[in-house]
Amino acid sequence: MNNLNDEIIYGKNPVLELLKSGKPVNKILLLADGANVRNQEILSLLQKRNIPYQFVDRQALDRLAQRERHQGMLAYVAAREYAEVEDILALAEKRQEAPFILVLDEIEDPHNLGALLRTVDAVGAHGVIIPKRRSVSLTGTVAKTSAGAVEHVLVARVSNLVQTIKELKKKGCWVSGAEAGGSDAFTADLTGPRVIVIGSEGKGISRLLRENCDELVSLPMRGKVTSLNASVAGSLMLYEVFRQRAYAR
pLDDT tens-digit readout, 107-135: 989 999 999 999 999 999 999 999 988 88
* Burial readout 193-231 (b: 16 or more C-beta within 10 A, e: otherwise): bbbbbbbbeeebbbeebbebbeebbbbeeeeeeeebebb
Let me know: does 39 contact 73? Beta carbons within 8 Å: yes
Q: Are the C-beta atoms of residues 102 and 198 closer than 8 Å to each other?
A: yes
Please give the C-alpha separations between residue 45 and each of 19, 98, 99, 157, in angstroms, as whole numbers. 7, 37, 33, 18
pLDDT confidence of residue 67: 66
Q: Which residue has the higher pLDDT, 80 or 112?
A: 112
* Region 196-222 average pLDDT: 92
Distances from the Cα of 248 to the Cα of 83, 118, 186, angstroms: 29, 24, 14
Class of 8-77 in CATH:
alpha beta
Tens digit of each residue's pLDDT (9 = 90 or more) over 44-58: 888 888 888 888 888
Lowest mean pLDDT segment, chosen from 85-89, 183-187, 205-209, 225-229: 225-229
Residue 84 has pLDDT above 90, yes or no: yes
In the chain, CATH 3.40.1280.10 sits at: 85-248
**What would the mean pLDDT of 48-73 be, rounded to a whole number?**
83
- Residue 194: DSSP 8-state: E
Q: Give per-residue pLDDT as tens, 14-29.
A: 888 888 887 888 889 8
Residues of the chain with CATH 3.30.1330.30: 8-77
- Give counts: helices (H), strands (E), the chain: 9, 10
Task: Supply the pLDDT for residue 36.
Answer: 59
Phi, psi of 185 (to 5 degrees): -65, -25
Confidence band (pLDDT; 50, 70, 90) for 3?
very low
CATH superfamily label, 85-248? SPOUT methyltransferase, trefoil knot domain (3.40.1280.10)
Q: Are strands 53-56 and 8-10 parallel, antiparallel or unpaired?
A: unpaired
